[in-house]
Homo-oligomer: A and B are copies of this chain.
Amino acid sequence: MLKTTRCAGASWLPGVLLVCQIGTPAHAAPAAVAPETVATQLRDAALAGHDIAYGWLSELTTRFGARPAGSPNEQAAAEWAVLRLKALGFENVHLESFPITAWVRGTESAQLIAPTRQPLVAAALGESPPTPAGGIEADVVLFPTLAELQAVAPGSLAGRIACVTLRMVRTEDGAGYGPAVAARIEGPAAAARAGASAFLLRSAGTGTARFAHTGTTAYVEGRVPVPAFALSNPDADQLERIAALGQSPRVQLSSTASTVSGAHSQNVVADIRGSAKSPLEQFVLLGAHLDSWDQGTGAVDDGAGTAIIVAAAKLIRDLPHKPQRTVRVVLFGSEEIAQPVAPGSVFGGHAYADTHRGELPRHALAAESDLGADRIYAFALPHAVLKGEFADTVLRVLGPLGILAESHAPRDAGADVAPSVEAGVPAFALNQDATRYFDLHHTADDTLDKVDRVQLDQNVAAWAALVWLAADGTQNFREPGAP
């Protein structure tokens, strides 16, 4: 039998008990320990409090602040991450660069011109073109929904600004984002079709604080067709109340946004090598993204995700024995300009899947942390293991963290790992409480102080434990008969 005691090699984890054989030197190969036992101890080690996740997140957001895709800050953060991951003991740490067209906000302003002059809080949507040099001044026509804007006659809004005021619904699982973001994605095209000179959106965000939520939008013939801005929720309320008073809001918008062709972004790849060697080496892929929107410091989106997966992998790294599979951490670049893919555009998730195409059949499992730093309340496993001993074990280990088992496979693997998942890699998910995430998402208010360290550590605990169970074994997560 083994006894738990403090391992010499784990001195970076104050007060944490790890499994090692009494009398054997740290890092010597101990006798096999049941994966569930190790997973439970990893879980408890993460909860015991350590500085890996929060320390990483604090340093990342402090040193580099905003890390827009293709920016010097994104690159500097990636180079810093390489050094830090090496120092933490990761192997095979390297950058994988890829070309992108970057977008730069420039200066911008928005104000109500009539019935009275009032400053408005607005932010250009990602990849929005600039306004003409003198700005755009026009009456605003309000539409409660995207569908109502899409239904107007082509050209009927000439000389005016179209504004969709749909309000995002707050839910624990973030389900309100889908309907809200549809107006962000499709709105500029609908406004352009109607002949409007610009598009305004009530932010796809749940907060009542006066922040505008940026984010990408869809291209029409290779570009966002009209200047497009998000208004903060209070500003959208204001336009609606002005209209309810029988007055017509007139707005002036200006933006010097620009694009930088020939820019590049990069993924950071780092492994905790498993015991099985090539060509038998398999991977459990953990993803998060290092880029962020440009007004905040990318703390909850997605510095937290990078901190969670790095800390979870580091806990595994510092065990006295290796898992069978390699745990691969990828800090993706250029996630934020990914979603409404422009023709020919390349971003981190695609770049990884392309570069590692030959390895993907040996990716046993993949998942992404990209919904903030609040607690995990459920796990979702691939369909092939929804029931059975693996799922039962996961529930026994994660249940004490307040985590339920979902009855279905992940509905959304995450933007970064999606190209790998589409290529056949099975996905799991650790579903986070997103109740307050969309108060901060894509705003200037996405800063370190919003992160709850207790909940951050609960994330690390769940990731470390589940990843260990997936990595230290030979469980096949693919559907029977899948390649």
Q: Tell me whether B241 and A58 are in contact (CB under 8 A).
A: yes
In the complex, what's the smallest C-beta–C-beta distance from A208 to chain B, in angstroms? 5
Q: Which of A202-240 contact B (CB under 8 A)?
A: 208-211, 233-234, 237-238
How many Å from the CB of A322 to the closest CB on chain B?
A: 33
Name the B residues within 8 Å of A245 (CB-CB): 59, 62-63
Q: Which of B119, B233, B443, B444 interacts with A65 by CB under 8 Å? A: B119
Q: Does A341 contact B (CB under 8 A)?
A: no
Binds B, one of A91-99, A265-273, A421-429, A445-453: A445-453
Contact check, B112 vs A238: say whether CB atoms are below 8 A apart: no
**Any chain B CB within 8 A of the CB of A242?**
yes
Is A121 interfacial (CB-CB < 8 Å)? yes
Bound-state CA distance A355–B233 (Å) is 42
A128 within 8 A of B: no
Number of chain A residues close to chain B: CB under 8 A: 41
- Residue A72 at the chain B interface, CB threshold 8 Å: yes
Chain A residues 141 to 186 lying within 8 A of chain B, measured CB to CB, are none
A46 interfacial by beta-carbon distance below 8 Å = no
B117, A449: Cβ atoms closer than 8 Å = no
Asked if B449 and A234 make an inter-chain contact with CB atoms under 8 angstroms apart, the answer reads: yes
CB distance from A168 to the nearest CB of B (A): 14
Known contacts A73-B116, A237-B449: A210-B62 contact under CB 8 Å? no
The answer to whether A33 has its CB under 8 Å from any CB of chain B is no
Contacts of A454 in B (CB 8 A): none
Interface residues of A in 43-76 (CB under 8 A from B): 58-59, 62-66, 72-73, 76
How does the 8 Å CB contact mask read for A285-312 relative to B, with 1 for contact and 0 for none? 0000000001111000000000000000
Give Cα A296 to B209, complex, Å: 11
Is A132 close to B, CB under 8 A?
no
A209: B residues at CB distance < 8 A: 209, 211, 445
Which B residue's beta carbon lies closest to that of A444?
Answer: B210
A339 contacts B by Cβ under 8 Å: no
Residue of B nearest to A65 (CB): B118
Question: Which B residues lie within 8 Å of A107 (CB)?
Answer: 109
A38 to B106, CA, bound (A): 61
Residues from 100 to 151 in A contacting B, C-beta threshold 8 Å: 107, 109, 112, 115-119, 121
Min CB–CB distance A466 → chain B (angstroms): 32
Q: Do residues B59 and A234 form an inter-chain contact, with CB atoms below 8 A?
A: no
Give Cα A208–Cα B119 distance, bound, in whole angstroms: 22
Question: Taking CB as reference atom, which chain B residue is nearest A210?
Answer: B445
Of chain B, the residue at the smallest CB distance from A239 is: B62
Residues in chain B near residue A295, CB distance under 8 A? 119
Out of B76, B109, B447, name the residue touching A210 (CB < 8 Å).
B447
Using A62-B245, A210-B296 as known contacts, list a sample of 7 further A-B pairs with CB atoms less than 8 Å apart, ordered by residue number in A: A63-B115, A65-B117, A66-B118, A119-B294, A210-B445, A237-B448, A241-B448
What are 21 A-B pairs with beta-carbon distances under 8 A? A62-B241, A62-B242, A63-B245, A65-B116, A65-B118, A65-B119, A73-B118, A107-B109, A119-B294, A119-B295, A119-B444, A121-B444, A209-B211, A210-B445, A234-B445, A234-B447, A234-B448, A234-B449, A237-B448, A238-B447, A238-B448
Across the A-B interface, give the 3 residue pairs with the lowest CB-CB distance, nearest first: A65-B118, A234-B447, A62-B241
A→B interface (CB under 8 Å): 58-59, 62-66, 72-73, 76, 107, 109, 112, 115-119, 121, 208-211, 233-234, 237-238, 241-242, 245, 294-297, 443-445, 447-450
